[in-house]
Amino acid sequence: MDAARRTFCAAGGLLLAGCASSRPDARAAARAELGATGKLRAAINFGNPILASKDAAGEPRGVSVDLAREAGRRLDLPVELVLFNSAGNVVEAVKARQVDLAFVAIDPVRAADMEYTAPYVIIEGAYLVRNGSPLQRNEDVDRPGTRVAVGRGSAYDLFLTRELKSAALVRAPTSPEVTNLFLAQNLEVAAGVKQQLEADAKRVGGVRLLPGRFMVIEQAMGVPKGRVASQAWLSGFIEEMKASGFVAESLRKHGIEGAGVAPADGRNRR
């Protein structure tokens, strides 16, 4: 590597990741970690419809599926899609090293057990209420007597656990079950992925979303804690996938609206 390239790679975390991921030794080190079982075991979470869903034949589809398969192709590893219905279960699988790669929202609690790339997609968290609810703004939710349904272990659960001071959380087993729990227990608010709640509102009727968002969720690739070679290679990979238009095209192909490609980001998130 010449002096100019060394200077370029030293400019920041993003450039370091990109330069490292292009070297054969960096790829080999990542391949050894990610493919220790002879295959790349990628966790796919159906609890977030922005990331993954099932097609008419019941097969996994979505941006996380596309990214997992592309990473496997570049590493020359067969990909095993390990399917989950909640982010909480995905995180537990990462902690137990039952999967090699996951697609999760960045959160400081999870960082204790996981190495992150920078985000590849940004989505919004929203609140759902009944049409007759007195709540009109996101700021109205955090008050005594308000009960908020949320998916156990989801990014929204972790965020609201820290942020809400007066309202109480009621946890559904998975994020797709939040609206049904909200209705069944006559709760005041449901919290989750904006697109999921919009679909639920059309399905059940008599409910509305509060304007705007209460949080922005940064979706990243994650690997078990300590797998720094994998994190470094995937950091360069995900930046290339954003810059090349791969992520944007995947979102378009799968008909995902309301989610945006994350901007280039050099910070090393762990």
Please give the Cα distance from 156 to 174 (Å, whole number). Answer: 12
Residue 267 lies in a domain: no
Q: State whether 45 and 178 are in the same domain.
A: no
Q: 100-152 pLDDT, tens per residue?
A: 999 998 988 888 889 999 999 998 999 999 999 999 999 999 999 999 999 99
Work out how many domains the chain is built from and give that number.
2
Residue 39 lies in a domain: yes
Structure tokens of 119? 């985000």
Q: State whether 38 and 75 are in the same domain.
A: yes
Please give the Cα distance from 87 to 47 (Å, whole number). Answer: 7
CATH code for the domain in which residue 192 is found: 3.40.190.10
Alpha helix positions (H), the chain:
3-9, 13-22, 24-34, 63-75, 87-95, 155-163, 178-184, 194-204, 228-243, 246-253
**85-117 core/surface letters (b: 16 or more CB in 10 A; e: else):** bbbbbbbebbeebebbbbbbbbbeebeebbbbb
Q: State whether 141 and 198 are in the same domain.
A: yes
Q: State whether 98 and 12 are in the same domain.
A: yes
CB atoms within 10 A of CB 249: 14
Q: State whether 163 and 222 are in the same domain.
A: no
Q: State whether 65 and 198 are in the same domain.
A: no
- Distance (Å) of CA 106 to CA 114, 166, 196, 245, 268: 10, 25, 19, 22, 12
Q: 151-194 pLDDT, tens per residue?
A: 998 889 999 999 999 999 999 998 889 999 999 999 999 999 89
Question: pTM of the full predicted structure?
Answer: 0.75
Which residue in the block uniquely carries the two structure tokens 């809400």? 164
Q: State whether 107 and 233 are in the same domain.
A: yes
Residue 37 lies in a domain: yes
Give residue 188's domain range.
Answer: 123-215
Q: State whether 169 and 240 are in the same domain.
A: no
